[in-house]
Structure 1
Amino acid sequence: MFQEMLLQKYPYRMVPGLPPKRMLGADREFIESRRRALKRFINLVARHPSFWDDILVNIFLSYNSQDVQNKMRESIRGVGDEYLTTTFAAQAKDFLPADIQVQFAASRELIRNIFNSFYKLRDRAERMAARAIDNATDLMGFGKELSALGSDTTPLPSWAAHSSWGALKQALKGLSVEFTVLADKAAQQGKLEEIDVVDKLNLFLDLLQSYKDLCERHEKGVLHKHQKALHKYSLMKRQMISATVQNKEAESVEQLESRIVEQENAIMVMELRNYFSLFCLHQETQLIHIYLPLTSHILGAFVNSQIQGHKEMNQVWNELKPKLNCLFVGSSSLATPPLSPEERHFFSR
């Protein structure tokens, strides 16, 4: 409802899309995903130069009553869209560069290419974060199996009375704790990548998508209506010429002239709206370029999360390494399996 009202008031601006709802089967993962999407939506709306101090937005963000929808409807009733409320809307053409159509086409192509690349980057970042979470699950499972081995109470047969199994069980149970720590570190890295990398990529993608939607509204909306009105005007002029040649009744000709005048006025308004739409698009394109440096922040967050995650995991693995000696070095009275050259090198370091 809020998004529809915002579009009604600002049809020539980048209005981000709301995440889809799911009435049935809304699991925890979907709820968390939608919560993040709503947060991004609110951030983009609240940061937009045309929206941030609008009464409609203020009501949506701060009104704490059940009749908030009625309150929002009242705020836009009879107000009109941005074209009608902007004092210089009719002079928008004067503020545009002469090659605005060429610039618009180039900007649209650039944003389309950026969107496609960032879409792929987001998908890969999501998979990397998911792999970190899966790695945490596997490490946790690995540790649980070690703990299960160490906690096994099955009695040993008499011939295995001098087996090293008892000592190994104690060592395995102790090592299981280390894998719990490793699992926590992997999970933390996955969450960090989701928050600092994937969410920022999604925020930028939401903005780029709203720009693409705006371009489509411009072409299928005011521009299409303007072209359609011009075509209708051309047909009416032909009818007028035909009526004059055929010496039709004066009343019929006057009605046709009146309709032509009305059409001319409608075309003039549509033309002004078309230029105002291009003016807004020009501003929104500049806003996209203001957001472009977010790329460096995203890459910085990605690199930092990788460095921090691998550093912490490396520290735990290094602390775990000397604790493995108890698994390979038995007492002098117990036989130990022969070590490979790689194992001897590993434990001699």
Structure 2
Amino acid sequence: MQWCNHGSHCSFDLPGSGDPLTSASRVAGTTKLASEPPYLPTPQAIEPQAIVPRAPAPSRMQMPQGNLLLLSHSLQELLARDTVQVELIPEKKGLFLKHAEYEVSSQRFKSSVYRRYNDFVVFQEMLLHKFPYRMVPALPPKRMLGADREFIEARRRALKRFVNLVARHPLFSEDVVLKLFLSFSGSDVQNKLKESAQCVGDEFMNCKLATRAKDFLPADIQAQFAISRELIRNIYNSFHKAIDNAAGLLIFGKELSAIGSDTTLLPSWAALNSSTWGSLKWALKGLSVEFALPEDKAAQQGKQAENDVVEKLNLFLDLLQSYKDLCEWHEKGVLHKHQRALHKYSLMKRQMMSAAVQNCEPESVEQLESRIVEQENAIQTMELRNYFSLYCLHQETQLIHVYLPLTSHILRAFVNSQIQGHKEVSPPLLRMLSWPRPSFFPDALPSSLPPLQAPRAAPCPSLAT
């Protein structure tokens, strides 16, 4: 296989012109620089005409030194690649069908472009087409009608997490598809994205190490894959529960807000002959002012927790979910396709043996032999793709571990949010305890209450035998 630089032309000596598996199942279920050895550069545009390739730049064609399977990135390096903001534009475009539009701003490209949800969909499809063996994050669901404000805001946050995970991926971050999505300001970005991937094979076709991926894999790669998948599954389940606790801060703020703004009064007849209601109403009126303070403080605490804790947790969960999807794609897609090809090959061999015994016509035997050779080539390609898929999975697993230190930042932000929240909420609550108690309030509840007696059970009629 010959590899070429951006803008040059290349031909491939591999059987088949593309991945026999399509990326549609992953969609429905939802380049690294030469100095960084684990991820090799891929061509950005390849014309269909086969002509003599240019001599590639030595710096990009030079074989990296060291273990090509291991990554050398840190979390700080990945986070520093880019920070992308996704903001909702207040106006909804469209004459009849309204749709939300987003302003996408990239620090790296110093660009600000406008994108619709469907633009994100095409962007993800192109990534899956070019990188079927990598962790392409899922997109939030599309809601056609009746999208309320809360749903639109949740989708905006999810789109922001999606594009930031893509922009910080060692391979995606150097691909032309990302640059087009973040910087192209034309009116038809979807066709531009599709044109950039047209006539360009996937990563297996463009990576010069793809056919030798087996040589870099450890002997126990299948066992390592099973262990890593189970570990990531356990981490995902644990943090999925943790996000419920963090989101509880928002619910706490909303509950206090409801208490502070409650204006329900008892009917006048309930307090006509008693001064209790008047005293209680006076106390509640004074306490409502104090309740407004913890209400605001709790709302601020919930907002801080949402930004510092919940979103970081969601980002980490999105990454783990993309890894789980990739593992499922490897087992149910790559391996299943390979097994079916082997089964088809065995049937052809049986037909060949049967034809030899029955002395069939030479033309029929030649056609069957030709089909067997084609199937052998297809199986060989699938085996190479299977090993390359494991090669990519091994690197994506390492990428998950690179992101693991993010959990310490999440926990630290959660603790700081709790400490700050309690500091701000406790003073007004303590002032409530210092309020004078109305005379009809008991000083203290009795330390012990008489036990409740269970009602006597009625005799059970005997059943006739």
Q: Which runs of 5+ in 1 are unaligned?
A: 150-156, 329-336, 344-349
Q: In 1, are the aligned partners of 2:243 and 2:310 still within 8 Å (CA)?
A: yes
Q: In 2, are the aligned partners of 1:182 and 1:313 still within 8 Å (CA)?
A: yes
Partner Cα separation in structure 2 for residue 166 and residue 258 of structure 1 = 98
Total equivalences in the alignment = 319
Deviation at 1:65, TM superposition (A): 2.0
Q: Which of 308, 312, 315 is the equivalent residue of 2:420?
A: 308
Matches within 5 A, 1:333-348: 337=439, 340-342=442-444
The equivalent of 1:280 in structure 2 is: 392
* Structure of higher RCO (CA pairs closer than 8 Å, 6+ residues apart): 1
Q: In 2, are the aligned partners of 1:196 and 1:301 still within 8 Å (CA)?
A: yes
Tell me whether 1:318 sits opposite 2:318 in the alignment: no
Which range is displaced more, 108-117 or 36-45?
108-117
Matches within 5 A, 1:82-121: 82-121=203-242
TM-score after normalising by structure 2: 0.63
Deviation at 1:94, TM superposition (A): 0.8
Partner Cα separation in structure 1 for residue 367 and residue 440 of structure 2 = 107
Letter in 2 for 1:256: L
The equivalent of 2:332 in structure 1 is: 220
The equivalent of 1:233 in structure 2 is: 345
Q: In 2, are the aligned partners of 1:135 and 1:186 still within 8 Å (CA)?
A: no
The equivalent of 1:334 in structure 2 is: none
TM-score after normalising by structure 1: 0.83
| Superposition RMSD in Å | 2.7
Instruction: Check 1:58–1:169 CA distance in 2 against 1; reply closer, same or farther (3 A cut).
Output: same
Partner Cα separation in structure 2 for residue 238 and residue 125 of structure 1 = 61
Letter in 1 for 2:211: A
Give the number of the structure whose residues are more often helix, by fraction: 1
Partner Cα separation in structure 1 for residue 135 and residue 378 of structure 2 = 26
Q: In 2, are the aligned partners of 1:182 and 1:316 still within 8 Å (CA)?
A: yes
Letter in 2 for 1:132: F
- The percentage of aligned residue pairs carrying the same residue is 68
Deviation at 1:194, TM superposition (A): 1.8
The equivalent of 1:23 in structure 2 is: 144
Matches within 5 A, 1:204-219: 204-219=316-331
Letter in 2 for 1:254: E
Structure 1 runs (4+) deviating above 6 angstroms are 165-172
Q: Which of 184, 187, 195 is the equivalent residue of 1:66?
A: 187
Q: Which of 166, 173, 195 is the equivalent residue of 2:307?
A: 195
Partner Cα separation in structure 2 for residue 260 and residue 338 of structure 1 = 96
Partner Cα separation in structure 2 for residue 214 and residue 28 of structure 1 = 32
Deviation at 1:303, TM superposition (A): 1.4
Tell me whether 1:271 sits opposite 2:383 in the alignment: yes
Partner Cα separation in structure 1 for residue 174 and residue 293 of structure 2 = 47
Letter in 2 for 1:4: E
Q: In 1, are the aligned partners of 2:137 and 2:318 still within 8 Å (CA)?
A: yes
Larger Rg: 1
Deviation at 1:134, TM superposition (A): 2.3
Which range is displaced more, 95-104 or 311-320?
311-320
Partner Cα separation in structure 1 for residue 230 and residue 278 of structure 2 = 69
Q: Which of 184, 191, 194 is the equivalent residue of 2:296?
A: 184
Tell me whether 1:134 sits opposite 2:254 in the alignment: yes
Q: Which runs of 5+ in 2 are unaligned?
A: 1-121, 267-271, 446-465
